[in-house]
Amino acid sequence: MATFSVPSYIPSTFEDAEQLRNAFSGWGTNEKVIISVLAHRNAMQRRHIRHAYSDAYGEDLLKALDKELNRDFEKAVLLWTLEPAERDAVLAYDSVSKWGPADSTLIEIATARSSEELLSARRAYHDRNKRSLEEDVAAHTSADFRKLLVPLLSSYRYEGAEVNLSLAESEAKLLHEKVVEKAYNDEEMIRILTTRSKPQLVATFNHYNNEFGNPINKDLKSDPKDEFLRALRAIIKCITCPEKYFEKIVRLAINKMGTDEGALTRVVATRAEVDMKLIKEAYYMRNSVPLGKAIKKDTTGDYEDFLLALIGEEDA
Amino acid sequence: MATFSVPSYIPSTFEDAEQLRNAFSGWGTNEKVIISVLAHRNAMQRRHIRHAYSDAYGEDLLKALDKELNRDFEKAVLLWTLEPAERDAVLAYDSVSKWGPADSTLIEIATARSSEELLSARRAYHDRNKRSLEEDVAAHTSADFRKLLVPLLSSYRYEGAEVNLSLAESEAKLLHEKVVEKAYNDEEMIRILTTRSKPQLVATFNHYNNEFGNPINKDLKSDPKDEFLRALRAIIKCITCPEKYFEKIVRLAINKMGTDEGALTRVVATRAEVDMKLIKEAYYMRNSVPLGKAIKKDTTGDYEDFLLALIGEEDA
pLDDT at B258: 83
CB B92 within 8 A of CB B133: yes
Q: Are A195 and A155 in contact (CB under 8 A)?
A: yes
**Mean pLDDT value of segment A306-314:** 95
Asked if residue A78 has pLDDT above 90, the reply is yes
Q: How far is A260 from chain B (nearest CA, A)?
A: 33
Interface residue ranges in chain B relative to chain A, Cβ cutoff 8 Å: 119, 122-123, 126, 130-135, 138-139, 146, 150-151, 154-160, 162, 187, 191, 195-197
User: Could you give the CA distance from residue B65 to residue B75 in angstroms, rounded to a whole number?
Assistant: 10
Pick the CATH number of A247-310 from 1.10.220.10, 3.30.70.1150, 3.40.50.1360, 3.40.228.10: 1.10.220.10
Q: Is B298 assigned a ligand-binding role in the annotation?
A: yes
**Record: contact A130-B156, CB cut-off 8 A:** no
* pLDDT tens-digit series, residues A195-251: 999 999 999 999 999 999 999 999 999 998 999 999 999 999 999 999 999 999 999
Q: What's the average model confidence in pLDDT over A68-93?
A: 97
The whole-number pLDDT of residue A201 equals 98
**In sequence order, what are the residues at sequence separation of 6 or more whose Cβ sits closer than 8 angstroms to the Cβ of residue B279?**
B243, B246, B247, B250, B267, B271, B291
Looking at residue A26, what is its pLDDT?
A: 73
Question: What mean pLDDT comes out for the span A78-92?
Answer: 97
**B105 marked as part of a ligand binding site:** no
How far apart are alpha carbons B267 and B284 in whole angstroms? 16
CATH homologous superfamily of domain A85-154?
Annexin (1.10.220.10)
Average pLDDT rounded to a whole number, residues B160-179? 97
- Ranges for all domains in chain B classified under CATH 1.10.220.10: 13-69, 84-154, 165-240, 242-310
User: If you measure CA to CA, which chain A residue comes closest to B153?
Assistant: A154
Q: Which residues of A touch B123 (CB under 8 A)?
A: 156
pLDDT per residue as tens digits for the range B40-54? 999 999 999 999 999
DSSP string, chain B: ---S---SS---HHHHHHHHHHHHSSSS--HHHHHHHHTTS-HHHHHHHHHHHHHHHSS-HHHHHHHH--HHHHHHHHHHHS-HHHHHHHHHHHHHHT--TT--HHHHHHHSS-HHHHHHHHHHHHHHHSS-HHHHHHHH--HHHHHHHHHHHH-----S----HHHHHHHHHHHHHHHHTT-TT-HHHHHHHHHS-HHHHHHHHHHHHHHHSS-HHHHTTSSTT-HHHHHHHHHHHHHH-HHHHHHHHHHHHHHSSS--HHHHHHHHHHHTTTTHHHHHHHHHHHHSS-HHHHHHHH--HHHHHHHHHHTT-TT-
Q: What is the pLDDT confidence band of residue A255, given thresholds at 50, 70 and 90?
A: confident
Question: Which CATH fold would you assign to the domain A13-69?
Answer: Annexin V; domain 1 (1.10.220)
Say if the Cβ atoms of B139 and A187 lie within 8 Å: no
- Considering chain A, tell me which residue range(s) the CATH 1.10.220.10 domain(s) occupy: 13-69, 85-154, 165-225, 247-310
Task: Give A-chain residues touching B157 at CB under 8 angstroms.
Answer: 132, 135
pLDDT at A2: 87
Residue from B119, B158, B170, B191 whose CB has the most chain A CBs within 10 Å, to mutate:
B158
What's the pLDDT at A29?
84
In sequence order, the 6+-apart residues with CB closer than 8 A to the CB of A244 are A237, A282
Residue of B nearest to A148 (CA): B151
The pLDDT of residue B173 = 98
Question: Is the C-alpha dihedral spanning A136, A140, A146, A148 positive or negative?
Answer: negative
What value does the mean pLDDT take over residues A262-277?
97
Which residue, B96, B147, B152, is CA-closest to B125? B96
**Chain B residue numbers touching A132 (CB-CB < 8 A):** 155-158, 195, 197
Q: Which residues of A touch B159 (CB under 8 A)?
A: 126
CB within 8 Å: B195 and A135: yes
- Over range B223-230, report the average pLDDT: 94
- pLDDT at position B25, please? 86
Give the dihedral sign, CA A300/A303/A306/A310: negative
pLDDT value of residue A192 = 97
Check pLDDT > 90 for residue B314: no
Assign domain B84-154 to its CATH architecture: Orthogonal Bundle (1.10)
Q: What is the mean pLDDT of residues B227-242?
A: 97
Query: Could you please report the per-residue DSSP string of B215-242?
Result: -HHHHTTSSTT-HHHHHHHHHHHHHH-H
Q: Do B191 and A139 touch (CB under 8 A)?
A: yes
All residues of chain A having their beta carbon less than 8 Å from the beta carbon of residue B196 are: 135
Residue B26 is labelled as binding a ligand: yes
pLDDT digits (tens, 9 = 90+) for A122-135: 999 999 999 999 99
Q: Mean pLDDT, chain B, as a whole number?
A: 95
Cβ-based neighbour number of residue B133 at 10 Å: 30
- Residues of chain B with C-beta less than 8 angstroms from the C-beta of A119: 119, 156
Residue type present at position A262: G
What pLDDT, on a 0 to 100 scale, did the predictor assign at position B28?
77
Residue B12 scores a pLDDT above 90? yes
Q: Which residues contact B90 (CB under 8 A, 6 or more apart)?
A: B79, B82, B128
Q: How far apart are the first and last CA of chain B?
A: 19
pLDDT at B117 over 80: yes
CATH number attached to the domain at B242-310: 1.10.220.10
Contact flag B197-A131 (C-beta cutoff 8 Å)? yes
pLDDT at A62: 96
**B256 annotated as ligand-binding:** yes
Name which of B155, B170, B195, B200 to mutate to probe chain A: the one with the most chain A Cβ atoms within 10 A of its Cβ.
B195
Question: Which pLDDT tens digit goes with each residue over B25-81?
Answer: 877 789 999 999 999 999 999 999 999 999 999 999 999 999 999 999 999 999 999
Does CATH place domain B165-240 in 1.10.1740.10? no
Q: What is the rounded average pLDDT of the residues B209-238? A: 96
Predicted local distance difference test score (pLDDT) of residue A316 = 57
Look at residue A142 and tell me whether its pLDDT is greater than 80: yes
Pick among 1.10.3210.10, 3.50.50.60, 1.10.220.10, 1.10.357.10: CATH of A165-225: 1.10.220.10
Q: Examine the pLDDT at B316 and tell me if it is beyond 70.
A: no
pLDDT above 70 as % of chain A = 99
Mean pLDDT of chain A: 95
